[in-house]
Amino acid sequence: MPLRSLYRELLYEGDQDLLEWIMGRARLKEPRFFQIVDAIRAFHHINA
């Protein structure tokens, strides 16, 4: 799935979950979001 589509889907998740996932404080439960969360981390130089 293209990153843009994954990003849109990710935005519908709870805000608190988003921050926890991106910062690496919580595990993603849905493998479909691994790619977009990794891309966000790389863009912001977050080593989680």
pLDDT tens per residue across span 1-35: 799 999 998 888 777 788 899 999 999 988 999 99
What global pTM score does this model have? Answer: 0.79
Alpha carbon distance 15, 11 (integer Å): 8
Measured distance CA(21)–CA(18) in Å, rounded: 5
Helices (H), 1-48: 3-11, 15-23, 34-43
With beta carbons less than 8 A apart as the criterion, state whether 34 and 28 touch: yes
Domain boundaries, the chain: 3-43
